[in-house]
Every structure is written in C-alpha cells, then in structure tokens.
Amino acid sequence: MCQFGVRSGWSPVSRPSPGGAELSTCCAESARGVDRSGGHRDNPPVSKIREFLATPAGRFVWRYVAVLSVGFLILALRPVNDHVVDPYTTFVANESRVVLNLLGENARVVGQVLTSPRFSVTIFNGCNGLEAILIFVSGVLAFPAPWLRKVVGVALGFVAIQVFNVIRVVSLFYVGVWRPQWFNVSHVFVWQSLVIVFGVVLWLVWVRRYALAKTQR
C-alpha cells in the first residue's frame, strides 16, 4: 500500500467505550442442525455447481482461480518476495521518479520510498502493480486461445499495466502534494477500483481484438 505519514490500513487506536458496540454471544449451537451431507450427486446446489463447472464459464472460472491462487502463493513466498517483488517494487519507484523529475520534481528513491522535498510515498505490496498484472495474466492464461497470442497478450498487458501504475503513483504523489486529505480516498477507493476495471477492460480488449482475431474467421 502507498503511504503518507501514517501507514494506511492498520493503526493503533484507543479502546472503544464499553457501550460502543453491541456484544453478541457465540452461536456454535445454531450450526448443529445444518445438513452436512453436501457432495451427494442429487444435492441440488452441488449438482448445480458441477453443472456450472462443466460449462465454458465454469472452466474459465476455475482455471482463472487456480492460476491466480498459484501465482499469489508464489508471490507470497519469502525468497520470491526478497528477490523478485522487492526489486520490482524499487523498479516501479524508479520509473515514477523518472516521470516526476521530468515534471520538475526533485525526486529520489530510497529503497521503496519515493521522496521529494514536497512529499513522500512508500510503495508496498498491493501498490506495485504486480497484483493487477497477475490478475490480467491469469485471465489471459485461463482463456481458451492459442498460446502465441497468450504470450503476446501477457507481454503487452504487462507494459500497459506498468504505464497505468506509474500514472497512478505519480497522480497519488500530486494528490499528496496538493490535497493530502484526499490521499487515502484516492489511494484506496479511486485508484484501486480503477486498477480492477482497467485490468478487466484490458482483458476484454485482448480477447476481442487479439485472442480471437483470426481463429473465429
């Protein structure tokens, strides 16, 4: 996550007043009557799920989830984090520094901190674009298309998301400079939503314009 002053996400606060919340009791007993015989072929919800997974939509969804899960598991490994994710994040910070300096800022990078006399941003996991890239790449790999087109899609998508992410970091930098009170909203709400939508649009365009460009004719 990007950061301004105080790290977004977790932060210590004082204990709320006792009257601040309605406490509810544990309800373990309420689950005793639940039917746990799921998995039977005549069980309507299970058979519906099986039917769905047998459709192209279902196949795409489970392949997508599988590729995505494996990808995120790999990214979560400490050696991968230390030797791939962290250097990549520094690379993103340096890309943003170059753009900011072209815009007249005296920016520099210290580790994963993009700093200037006017503002500083720390780029964490979740802000380096790797997640968006992985989500797009998983969509490309899960889709039934020729492998060469998948490779081209992955390469072009990687570049596009890189550019998008640099725009995001630079814009957040200027939000921090001019409207620091808007930083958290811009960071969490606006840009993360846009990243997801951008990834989906990119995937749609890839499928429509490239993945199926000739195979359907």
Task: Summarize as ranges the residues that interact with another protein (CB under 8 A).
Answer: 8-16, 20-28, 31, 51-52, 54-58, 60-61, 64-65, 68-69, 72, 76, 125-126, 131-132, 135, 138-139, 144, 184-185, 188-189, 192-193, 195-197, 199-201, 203-205, 207-209, 211-212, 216
User: At its nearest, how many Å lie between another protein and the CB of residue 49?
Assistant: 11
Residue 90 has, within 13 A of its CA and on its CB side, a CA count of 9
Considering beta carbons, is residue 61 or 156 the nearer one to another protein?
61
CB of 138 to another protein, least distance (A): 7
Q: 70 near 63, Cβ under 8 Å?
A: no
The one-character DSSP state at 216 is T
Minimum distance from CB of 125 to another protein (Å)? 7
Residues ≥6 apart with Cβ < 8 Å to 94? 109
CA atoms within 13 A on the CB side of 19: 0
Query: Residues with Cβ < 8 Å from 14, sequence gap 6 or more?
Result: none
CA dihedral 58, 63, 69, 73 (to 10 degrees): 170
CB 97 to another protein: min, Å: 25
